[in-house]
A = this chain, B = another copy of it.
Amino acid sequence: MARKAGRTPEETRRVLLEAAAVVFRERGLSASLDEIARRAGVSKGGLLYHFAAKEDLVRALANDVLDDLRAMVFAEIDPEDSAPGALARAYIRTCLAVTPDDEAAIRETVHLLAQLTVMPDVVELMRTDSQRWHDDLRADGMPDHVRTLVINAVDGASMSPFYGGALSEDDLNTLKRQLLRFTLHSELWDALSPDTAASSSH
């Protein structure tokens, strides 16, 4: 056979990337190209037509996942919300999803990314991406000490499944509301500062 009827090359590429995501997540980066190709319904040679080497496939996948994540967060921004911290709130809502489906999706994504970091090239990609998040969030208008606290708490919680330390649904929900509240009520920002006197009067 040559070109599959009813499947454009671009579609094949997508199917291959999706198969790679599943297989790498389940078996780690040492999973074979053969298994990925089989899952995509393509021969190993076919896979290698689209991605000349395994490294290319991994890089393309990492780029894809990182872009998707960014798009998800930006799509979650409330268009009515123009107060400082709007991006941070979208970040919180996306990464600390509470509906079981969304939560599972985020966990799977994080777990996949964790597997991909085995490749130094991917770490470089993630470093760049992370720097971009940092810049975007700085431009979001919250003071440094609030932003750093909130974002690191979100990151800690969303990475916890990767080492098996999943939070209970209650804890996750509480954390989410806490963090949203921190970003929304600027009168709290003083109380969150390390330099304020311990008493929380205003």
User: Measuring CB to CB, which residues of chain A are less than 8 angstroms from any residue of chain B?
Assistant: 28-30, 113-115, 117-119, 123-124, 126-128, 130-131, 133-134, 144-145, 148-149, 151-157, 159-160, 162-165, 167, 171, 174-175, 177-179, 181, 184-185, 187-188, 190-195, 198-202
- Select A130's contact among B118, B128, B164, B171, beta carbons within 8 Å: B164
Minimum distance in angstroms from A87 CB to a CB of chain B? 16
Residues of B within 8 A of A178 (CB): 145, 149, 192-194
Q: How far is the CA of A126 from the CA of B124 in the complex (A)?
A: 26
Residues of B within 8 A of A123 (CB): 163-164
Q: How far is the CA of A198 from the CA of B190 in the complex (A)?
A: 13
Q: A123-B164, A164-B124, A164-B130 are in contact. Are A175 and B198 (CB under 8 A)?
A: no
Residues of B within 8 A of A149 (CB): 153, 175, 178-179
Residues of B within 8 A of A128 (CB): 164
